[in-house]
Amino acid sequence: MSRAALVTLSAVEVLARFNTRSLTPSDYLAACLEQISRVNPKINALTALDAERAVSQASKATLRWQAGTPMGPLDGLPIGVKDLQDTKGLLTTHGSIRARGNVPDQDLPMVARLRAAGAIILAKTNVPELGAGGNSRNPVWGATGNPFNPNLIAGGSSGGSAAALAANLLPLCTGSDTGGSLRLPAALCGIVGYRPSVDVIAHPTRPLGWSGISVLGPMARTMDDLVLMLSICQGHDPDDPLSAPAAPDRFTSLPRVSLENLRVGFSEDFGGAPVGQGIRETFRSRIDHVRPHVKECRPVDLDLGEMDRAFDILRAESFVAAFAEALDSAPEDFGAHIAANVAMGHAMTLADRGWAHAEQTRILRNFNRVMRDFDVILLPTSPVSPFPWTQSHATEIDGQAMDVYYRWLALAYRGSLAGGPAITLPCGRDANGMPFGLQMLGPVRGDEGLLAAAKALETLFALSPETARPLPDLETLAAPEVDLRSIVTHPPILKTAERSAASSLRTAV
């Protein structure tokens, strides 16, 4: 099999070939590095690359597989880690000039679990500055372009991960999600992004440890790959009081779901969020596609409360907790989005904060009542088709002006408030020929049932060209008209431990 064909294999297929010795980790890594060298300059999905160490680790993994003694279920599989998440010995900038020389001395627990399972941390994936917003561009690395059209956004904040997966640079990538950061880029790039329940994956770097609005999660090209990754990432950490101990078989033996027994609710706009007419029409066609195959498929009212105001306050308080002190001492180190969120938080009162937490509780309970009648709820993920990455965010949707830069993400962040797990499945293309992502919500802590339903729908969608996962034309992918790194104002300052990896990055990318 050619290297170009190897990178199209799923993670599950790659690992199966490792096991049968029909493919070695070294050969697979070489194929990924070749793909990165060819494609990444056109989309800028990967930032820091640790190729030299990865080659050494792949060689050792090859010997272990040949001896029948792999160190874990992911032994020798190269993966990408979102640049908001610490990786031991590998540059982690958060897309911020304040951290452009930051090389952590330990892994985030989720990353440590993946590494312990044998995964090779090959690269970091691009993000917006400090994860703020749905456009993955920052003053350290520049912007990430969509593999279907590099002049358009890949989404955010896990945009580099989504673009890397869609472009076959890597088989698995990590992400995180507060207001849609796993789901939006997955939708715009045609891959799978999963926001798990708050207890599933420990998130000990949350600035407000008792608030579950921000979670970590997996991203992949297929449901089987995503569930494999989730089964390894799950687990407790004492610094995350909301996390629960891992159950070894929790995600390895999902319940069987027959579509003919599935009760489906759907909403075009999640209680009145702005949605473009083209997206509404595409969503309606997908509902028409699903309806004949399920037990029940009917509209549902998702006006659960004052969702936008509650999210504004909960988001702002987390930004104040995380960035206010540093912003006050060095405002020149932060972009406008960070400053705006902190200013919003400073303008709020203790009464506002108390109201927001009480309102989120009411939203949760209203959502629970709705879910009594359904197994899953379907919605669009993004209200618009991808737009140029030179534009910070969608400023107007269907004639409605966006009052803050993240308002266009309401279809996703309203689901974050509801508290249940959420997933985005690739489901064909929109009217502009770009990927369309179908969002699915499940009941609170109903992860296994939602994943099983998503797997069943993925199988259904794969049967039709209209709904199958779209693939970018990487052979004719043109370089963007504007350099994706043109917004870089502060190139990374690399510490000694990082220079060999940076040298590899210049060579491979």
φ, ψ for residue 14, nearest 5 deg: -60, -45
Q: What are the structural domain ranges in the chain?
A: 25-251+259-463+475-508
The terminus-to-terminus CA distance of the chain in angstroms comes to 23
The span from the CA of 268 to the CA of 303, in Å, is: 12
The span from the CA of 315 to the CA of 136, in Å, is: 19
Point out the residues of the chain with pLDDT beneath 70. 494-509
Residue 187 confidence (pLDDT)? 99
DSSP strand pairing (263-266 vs 376-380): parallel
Q: Which residues, in sequence order, are bridge partners of residue 359?
A: none
The secondary structure element, H or E, covering residue 283 is: helix 277-290
Q: Which residues, in sequence order, are bridge partners of residue 425?
A: 438
SS3 label, residue 386: coil
Alpha carbon distances (Å) from 338 to 142, 159, 195, 318, 402: 17, 18, 23, 11, 17
Residue 496 confidence (pLDDT)? 42
Residue type, 135: N
The span from the CA of 330 to the CA of 154, in Å, is: 30
Residue 174 confidence (pLDDT)? 98
The CATH superfamily label for domain 25-251+259-463+475-508 reads Amidase signature (AS) domain (3.90.1300.10)
| Sheet containing 46-49: order of strands | 46-49, 120-125, 78-82, 172-177, 215-220, 192-195, 422-429, 435-441, 376-380, 263-266, 296-299
Give me the half-sphere count of Cα atoms (radius 13 Å) on the Cβ side of residue 232.
24
Residue 161 confidence (pLDDT)? 99
Residue 494 confidence (pLDDT)? 59
Tokens 């790659």 found at: 14
